[in-house]
Amino acid sequence: MTRVLATSVFVALLVALPWWFAHSAQSGPWLPPRASSFAGEVDGLFDAILVALATAFVLVMVLLVVALWRGAARVERARTTHGDLRLELAWTLVPAAVLAWIAVAQGPTWRAMKGDAALMARAPLARVEAAQFDWRFRHPGPDGLLDTSDDLLETHELVVPAGEPIVLATRTRDVIHSFYVPDFRLKQDLVPGRDGRIWFEAVGLGRHDLVCAELCGWGHYKMAGSIRVVQRDEYEAHLARLAARWNANGTEERP
């Protein structure tokens, strides 16, 4: 009876979890919509690793059920065994091969996201400046240079044009933060003393959550911002409005 009950539990898990894995990978109850040019590649790697894990899970469940029935069928003294070279080689080499495959398979995506030196050398659209506990964005003004008197600053929300590679400089003004836009599948630590670069190409229009993915202090939870993707002409208009507001020195009319 116990055996039947235990087998039912294993079989239920065996059916339910791979179904849920497959279902999740497609409809995405755990993954947000894809909104960057490389999001599909990142999800492809995620799904591939999920399939490898699901395969291992099914294998373990089947072995458990087999052991349960075989063990229960015989009544004999348990044997103590020591060492099995073939088994040990198998459980060392198979996971090693899987890990090596993951390391090779993720290479092109990693290079596309982090390794394009020519792209990263472009003038940044803005600099992300993280601080406890907000996001600030510094645009180079008309002179095209950061850290000059005509810089334009905005907080919480960065507006970017759609359909073109956006390079951002990154900096933290205090502790470690992590720039994370789930819809873009983009996450980058910002480390004190180390300015960096990130890039993405937003697909489609709309607003995407920007969160801090590094526990950075008591107010970490409220370190939320957004990236708003607009058409190029709307972006130019936004920058012009930002410049007008910035240069008005507080004398402009507030809506």
Which H or E run includes 123? none
Question: Which is closer to Cu ion, CB of 220 or CB of 238?
Answer: 220
Question: Does residue 210 interact with Cu ion by CB under 5 A?
Answer: no
Query: By CB under 5 A, which span of 48-56, 192-200, 207-215, 238-246 interacts with Cu ion?
Result: 207-215
Q: Does 212 bind Cu ion (CB under 5 A)?
A: yes
Q: Mark the segment that binds Cu ion (CB under 5 A) among 12-20, 134-142, 209-217, 226-234.
A: 209-217
Q: What is the separation, in whole angstroms, between the first and last Cα of the chain?
A: 74
From residue 75, how far is each of 67, 70, 72 by CA, in Å? 13, 10, 7
- Treating both helix axes as pointing N-terminal to C-terminal, what angle do 39-73 and 107-114 enclose, rounded to 10 degrees? 150
Can you tell me which of 25, 126, 202, 216 binds Cu ion, judged by CB under 5 A?
A: 216
Neighbours of 214 (CB within 10 A): 18
**Between residues 203 and 216, which has the closer beta carbon with respect to Cu ion?**
216
- Cβ closer to Cu ion: 35 or 212? 212
> Which residue's CB is nearer to Cu ion, number 187 or number 220?
220
Q: Count Cβ atoms within 10 A of the Cβ of residue 137 and give its class: 0-12 exposed, 13-18 middle, 19 or more buried.
A: buried
Pick the closer one to Cu ion by CB: 135 or 184: 135
Quote the tokens at residue 4. Answer: 């039947």
Count of residues in contact with Cu ion, rule CB under 5 A = 4
Nearest Cα neighbor of 185 from 103, 115, 114 is 114
Is residue 220 close enough to count as binding Cu ion by CB under 5 A? yes
Give the interface segment with Cu ion, choosing from 184-192, 218-226, 227-235, 245-253 (CB under 5 A). 218-226
- 223 lies in the binding site for Cu ion (CB under 5 A): yes
**Residue that the structure tokens 């029935």 belong to:** 69
Of 27-35, 155-163, 203-211, 219-227, which part binds Cu ion (CB under 5 A)? 219-227
Q: Which residue lies nearer to Cu ion by CB, 128 or 216?
A: 216
Tell me, what DSSP letter sits at residue 167?
E
Residues 149 and 53: their CA atoms lie apart, in Å, by: 53
Residues of the shown chain interacting with Cu ion in the complex, contacts defined by CB under 5 A: 212, 216, 220, 223
